[in-house]
Amino acid sequence: MAGSVAQREALEKLEDRHLNNFLGSTFHAEVYLPRLIIPFCGPIKGGMRPGKKILVMGIVDLNPESFKISLTCGDSEDPPADVAIELKAVFTDKQLIRNSCISGERGEEQSAIPYFPFIPDQPFRVEILCEHPGFRVNYHPYFEIGAEATLACVEDQS
């Protein structure tokens, strides 16, 4: 029952309401959340609105091709859900592509970055901060980019 041992250890760490993440920093824990299955699709409690931050942490595969993080308004396929922001890390070209898709119209793709922040077999941390009228994205190792995405439909984001 390795899962129950891991859960018990995580809950013991929560006794002081703090967790140490794998990058070594401490953050306040509101609730214990089990490991999420990838790909993960779920609601954002209270919707995405200015001032709210989404934190994505993980470990890059040993031989990665790409991975994508998308904040969408629902999960419908026909018509496709609006994509408030989409971040795609492409390892073959060392590109970090940012875009959005509102009412079926793709935004202007952005790919300029000072350096590629992801390393195979290493942990990463991505913070997506909702601001008005767009998003700010921070990566660890730290650098910041602004993403030009409008906040057209943010209440029902998944």
Q: Is the pTM of this model over 0.75?
A: no
Question: Longest C-alpha distance within the chain, in Å?
Answer: 48
In DSSP terms, which residues pair with 86 in a beta bridge? 70, 99
Q: Is 114 helix (H, G, I), strand (E, B) or coil?
A: coil
In this prediction, residues 126-154 reach a mean pLDDT of: 69
Kindly state whether residue 55 falls inside one of the protein's structural domains: yes
H/E stretch holding 5 reads helix 2-13
Tell me, yes or no, whether 52 and 23 share the same domain. Answer: no
pLDDT tens track for 36-65: 788 888 888 888 899 999 999 889 999 999
Task: Find where tokens 């970090």 sit.
Answer: 96
- Res 8 pLDDT > 70: no
Q: What CATH number is attached to the domain comprising 98?
A: 2.60.120.200
Q: Are residues 57 and 129 in the same domain?
A: yes
Task: Check whether residue 60 and residue 126 sit in a common domain.
Answer: yes
Q: How does residue 103 score in pLDDT terms, banded at 50, 70 and 90? A: confident
Average pLDDT, the chain: 75
The parent domain of residue 52 ranges over 40-147
Alpha-carbon gap, residue 68 to 156, rounded angstroms: 20
